[in-house]
Amino acid sequence: MREITYAEAVKEAMSEEMRKDNRIILFGEDVGVYGGAFGVSRGMFEEFGDERVRDTPISELGIVGCAVGAAMTGLIPIVEIMFSDFITLALEQLVNQGAKNRFQFGGQGSVPMVLRAPGGSGTGAAEQHSQSLESWVCNVPGLKVVIPSTPYDAKGLLKSAIYDPNPVVFLEQKLLYRVKGPVPEPGDEYTVPLGKADVKREGKDVTVITYGRMVPRCLQVAEELAAKGTDVEVVDVRTLVPLDREALIASAKKTGKVLIVHEACQTGGFGGEIAAVIADSKAFFYLDAPIKRLGGLDVPIPYNPKLEAQVVPTEEKITAAIESLL
């Protein structure tokens, strides 16, 4: 199978569906002529024109408000927010309008829109451009939340998100954009369903539950520990909302030890929800140790690269957390 980057996979998903369905449009800051802040939409303006790939003013509230209205009236908008931090500027439209519409009107309407946003640290973009705010949007009924970790998942999940009748927040962690992975040829159609976790590595000694750019980091640790005789299972959540509770519970029952890893701040992070799901299930009776969480430090992301690298779970911290469980 060919290998392409995560960014190319996202672009392929959008372009392939836009060729099939004229209702799909893309707009956001610099997504057109410039090709996106991270180059994801490069070439799409030339292919689809300024009616379907539109540059917008610098107004996240206006961008998302337009997307909600467009979705309610029959289009399928994909909007790119330049950094996920700027979702904060659009929360009124996303949370109070887009997420509530189907419920408010008794299911008579739908809001099939995708909000794409690059998130996470690691690029030296400092505290206002490097946050991981997924737990904020996970708390809003009516929104679906997706964080792919591989090019294959990014393309397949985005295709599913485009045709979901609910607003989907699709978070792309910036350090994954240039990572390559196997993806089927454009003619080989596939999708990845929302709400299904993926066991990226089978193991029997301990379960590591994670998502986004922590997945390759946890897989690297798992391979290093395998050489020492420890068999680590790595479960990629992929879709935070809806959450594949059954997969998480099954893995916890299998190994009896659970570590949850995410880049976002540990306090109030989504890892707490995952821990609660396992603790409230029959998996609790299979546990040989308390569920352990390893999140980011509860500090703003520093600009200094050495400090920035230590704010989120490192391979050394992940290794130490697994060994403490064992």
**Which residues are annotated as catalytic?**
129
Residue 99 near residue 68, CB atoms below 8 Å: no
Residue 292 near residue 325, CB atoms below 8 Å: yes
Per DSSP, helices labelled H in the chain are 6-20, 44-48, 60-72, 91, 101-104, 134-138, 151-162, 214-226, 245-255, 271-279, 305-311, 315-325
Beta bridge partners of 207: 233, 258
Q: What is the dihedral of CA 124, 179, 187, 13, to 10 degrees?
A: -20
Three-class secondary structure of residue 192 per DSSP = coil
Per DSSP, helices labelled H in 181-296 are 214-226, 245-255, 271-279
Q: Angle 315-325/214-226 helices, nearest 10 degrees?
A: 60
The span from the CA of 91 to the CA of 61, in Å, is 7
Cis amide leading into 242 (omega within 30):
yes
Radius of gyration of the chain (CA): 19
